[in-house]
Amino acid sequence: MIRTQRAHLHVAALSHPGMTGKNNEDRFAVSSYTLSEEHPTPVVFAVVSDGIGGHRAGEVAAELAVNHITQVVAESNGKKPLKVLEEAVHTASEAIAHHSASKDDQHGMGATCVCVLVIGHKLYTAHVGDSRLFLLRGGEITQLTIDHTWVQEAFEKGLIKADQMRTHPNVHVIRRYLGAAKLPEVDFRMRLHGEQDDETALANQGMTLLSGDTLLLCSDGLTDMIWPDEILKLVLMAEDQKTAVQDLVNLANERGGHDNITVVLLNVPRLEDTVKRRKTLWGWLTGE
């Protein structure tokens, strides 16, 4: 793919260490491309990673995750999106595991990741761990990703109820992460409705994004402090995306900021916004 300076989606992002004084072990990246000179379809790729491990190991793991994943995606041709994302995540996981094995003070480090690849207006996703992806559409918010945590597994098996998940002692016990001795299974399920089975969730890959849709990637430092309906309200009320990410981080910190907080927003421009921008550009060119 060919790197470009301007994305075809509106982008805003912010990362904050939180209020506990810990290092920021979150990392993120957003990049824009076109597929090729022959096929100038616009592409946006975004990734958020939350590091795991003490003595700065977490931030090293997250940095490795974001860098390796982004590099593999950038070097691809975009023809097989899910295969590219799987290769990218596995390459990052191997790099983290190798680094961990070579550094005594960083042994056992790992990272989560949530990835979004938008080709034209087709959405492809991949995730490992408990960093999340939400879709804001038509005044509603939907969590597309499924956490790889002890509480999620317990809920699915009927061992605990939904209202117990957030406060359960094992809420942050992650079952799947980058950097493990065995390559993690990359999750491509994209659940548009709570009742969708895994096969249907997988079939949602490549869905068409609509005008006005917003994708929100985040680390658990946001969702530990703010409920999804509150996230939706803040984004809808904000005058722009930059304000929205700042408001979300501020609220998470006001409620304690117990962890690092990272938010990335990707918004599909509305048709009226595109028309207005074209008119403004034409007026600037013609002096009208």
Q: Do β-strands 42-52 and 26-34 pair in parallel, antiparallel, or remain unpaired?
A: antiparallel
Q: Judge whether 141 and 110 are in contact, CB under 8 Å.
A: no
Give the residue among 95, 45, 94, 92 at the shortest CA–CA distance from 73: 45
For the record, the structure tokens of 241 come out as: 């995306």
For the record, the structure tokens of 162 come out as: 């939904």
Helix boundaries (H) for 125-270: 150-156, 162-165, 198-203, 220-223, 228-237, 241-254
Q: What is the pLDDT of residue 16?
A: 98
Non-local CB neighbours of 85 within 8 Å, separated by 6+ positions:
73, 115, 117, 124, 125, 126, 186, 188
Q: Which residue matches tokens 């005594």?
A: 104
> If 0-12 CB within 10 Å is exposed, 13-18 middle and 19+ buried, where does residue 37 land?
exposed
Q: What is the pLDDT of residue 168?
A: 86
Q: What is the pLDDT of residue 194?
A: 78
**What's the distance, CA 249 to chain centroid?**
15
Which amino acid, one-letter code, is at 145? T
Tens-binned pLDDT, residue by residue, of the chain (288 aa): 999 999 999 999 999 999 999 999 999 999 999 999 999 999 999 999 999 976 678 999 999 999 999 999 999 998 999 999 999 999 999 999 998 887 766 677 999 999 999 999 999 999 999 999 999 999 999 999 999 988 888 888 888 888 778 788 887 889 999 999 999 999 999 999 878 899 999 999 999 999 999 999 999 999 999 999 999 999 999 999 999 999 999 999 999 999 999 999 999 998 766 555 545 545 555 565
Q: What is the pLDDT of residue 285?
A: 55
Q: What is the pLDDT of residue 162?
A: 80
DSSP state letter for 76? S
pLDDT in tens, 31-65: 999 999 999 999 999 999 999 976 678 999 999 99
Non-local CB neighbours of 70 within 8 Å, separated by 6+ positions:
29, 31, 45, 47, 88
Q: Which residue matches tokens 């094992």?
A: 170
To 10 degrees, what angle do helices 241-254 and 228-237 make?
A: 140
